[in-house]
Amino acid sequence: MLKQSLQQKLLQKLSPQQIQFIKLLQIPTVMLDSRIKEELEENPALEDGSLSSVEDIPEYSLDDEHTPDTKEEQNDTPDEFNIDDYLQDDDQDDGYKMMSDNDSDDEDKKEMPMAVSSSFHEMLQVQLSLCVMGDHEFMVAQHILGSLDDDGYLRRPISALVDDLAFSQNIFTTEAEILHLLEIIQTFDPEGVGARDLQECLLLQLKRKKQNSSSVKLAITIVRDYLEEFTKKHYDKLERSLGISSEELKNAINEILKLNPKPGNSFADNSKQLQVIPDFIINKNDQYLILTLNSKNAPELRVSRSYQEMFQTYDKAVQKDKKMKEAVQFVKQKLDSAKWFIDAIKQRQQTLIKTMNAIMNYQYDYFLTGDERKLRPMILKDIADQVQMDISTVSRVANSKYVQTEFGTFLLKSFFSEGIQTESGEEVSNREVKKILEECIGNEDKKHPLADEKLAEILKENGYNIARRTVAKYREQLNIPVARLRKEL
């Protein structure tokens, strides 16, 4: 027997418009342009106003104060569409365009010339074509080049290359032949290419130097026989084992430090490097800060005139059959989608500027001077309370957005830090402690670098009572190695 009952549940559901806004909010400026182009391709009712002049196509837009879902229908037939929801007179305003009223440096669009250069593998192919060898050897050598990593190393086992050639290209070879061709490739530029590990890479580069140099000979011995001691900076052990002075060891180490551990990187394609485009720009005018939003965050979007004309045609039609109603239903869907997207872009713009303005005011002294010691402890909740938004919204803004200042371009997330209480009871940002820690290590005697215990004592003398493990954590976050690895001769 079925038992029926009533239950009340409290559920949180996001509308499609809210989901669209969240997705747009979290993407940075560099990706916003691609997202807009994608929407323009998918929705013909949405147009980019910057691609056509005002004289050619009159601009029409949706009413900001009404939406098709909220306005009452005025036609007698219940399932008819209200044309007035989507049409405006020609003599009304130019329409809703997301124009930025901020003048910023990125408005000056200049073409930057790109240097034409060959890639790393193309350079190797050119050198291979100059070698005298048969067709069989040439094809095997080409396969070896194709197996090199971007940094120039051959990390695949030789036996695997033999199998690859046999199964994929029906070319039969031996490990001895591959090793012979690999030796030829290792004579190519850049020096060290074709190495199978770091040790072989360094030795290939050292053997091309002047062999009559005592420092080069000593460097070869160190890399060949004492690489582990060298990487761990056991300099005292090296001096005893090799019977050399500190000066001789220093000269040999200088030769090693000149080598390139990743030879393929010297031919890296600069065009593939990602460029950081700031979402916000903070300029200083005397003792005042001026915040502007990158104009790329405010694209010029509008609703298509041709789609509005479809509604006019439908409104004037005497007979409205099923096919025409289906067509208008499609047009209505596209018009709604276009309006939602424009509204989401506008809401994104307002949220960005509101959140960044709160961050700027919270860290006003820092943005005014650029001194990291003036950074206040700040967490997401502090900004969320000021802008009266959810913490997740502030997190989406801070996570992938950059701000350009007079002293550099920074990720917003980097301005958030936990607080540390000094002996005087004052709460300071851990960024301030990291800055002092970085300065202490930068000014230390490299022959006798400061251990974490000593660094903790120095910080305590400056009023920061921090444990040694906390110092080690901050040092690792700054990508600074331990004292032994910072030692220099």
376 falls within a domain: yes
List residues bridging with 421 in a β-sheet.
427
Q: Do residue 285 and residue 341 come from a single domain? A: yes
Q: Do residue 254 and residue 333 come from a single domain? A: no
Task: Output the CA–CA distances (angstroms, integers) from residue 115 to 118, 119, 435, in the order listed.
Answer: 10, 12, 38
Residue 396 burial (CB count, 10 A) = 20
List residues bridging with 285 in a β-sheet.
288
Q: Do residue 298 and residue 407 come from a single domain? A: yes
- pLDDT at residue 25 in the model: 82
Strand, helix or coil for residue 429: strand
Cβ atoms of residues 401 and 360 within 8 Å: no
249 falls within a domain: yes
CATH at 431: 1.10.10.60
Q: Do residue 424 and residue 404 come from a single domain? A: no
Domain range for 139 is 120-188
Q: Do residue 152 and residue 256 come from a single domain? A: no
CA angle 48, 290, 278 (to 5 degrees): 50
4 falls within a domain: no
- Please give the model's pTM, rounded to 2 decimal places: 0.55
Cβ atoms of residues 136 and 171 within 8 Å: yes
Q: Do residue 341 and residue 252 come from a single domain? A: no
Task: Output the CA–CA distances (angstroms, integers) from residue 87 to 46, 57, 190, 206, in the order listed.
Answer: 15, 15, 65, 76
Query: Where a domain ends, among 268, 298, 333?
Result: 268
Cβ atoms of residues 418 and 380 within 8 Å: no
| Closest by Cα among 342, 349, 346 to 304 | 342
Q: Do residue 394 and residue 296 come from a single domain? A: yes
Q: Do residue 258 and residue 367 come from a single domain? A: no
385 falls within a domain: yes
Q: Do residue 200 and residue 260 come from a single domain? A: yes
To the nearest 10°, the Cα dihedral for 321, 326, 332, 334? -150
Q: Do residue 230 and residue 154 come from a single domain? A: no
Phi-psi sector, 427: left (phi>0), alpha (psi -120 to 50), beta = beta
pLDDT digits (tens, 9 = 90+) for 274-284: 577 888 999 98
Q: Do residue 309 and residue 337 come from a single domain? A: yes
1 falls within a domain: no
- Count of structural domains, the chain: 4
Residue 49 burial (CB count, 10 A) = 19
To the nearest 10°, the Cα dihedral for 224, 227, 233, 235? -30
CA angle 335, 338, 339 (to 5 degrees): 90
Per-position pLDDT tens, the chain of length 489: 577 888 887 766 777 777 777 888 888 877 888 888 888 888 888 887 766 544 343 443 433 433 334 333 334 433 444 545 544 443 444 444 444 444 444 444 445 454 555 688 888 999 999 999 999 999 999 999 999 998 999 999 999 999 999 998 899 999 999 999 999 999 998 899 999 999 999 999 999 887 788 999 999 999 999 999 898 888 889 999 999 998 999 999 999 999 999 998 766 544 444 577 888 999 988 888 999 888 777 777 887 888 777 766 776 666 667 777 777 778 778 888 888 888 888 888 899 999 999 999 999 988 988 887 788 888 889 999 999 998 888 888 888 889 999 888 998 888 887 777 666 666 677 777 888 888 888 888 888 888 888 888 888 888 888 888 888 888 888 888 888 888 877
Q: Do residue 136 and residue 236 come from a single domain? A: no
- Can you read off the two tokens belonging to residue 126? 């050119």
309 falls within a domain: yes
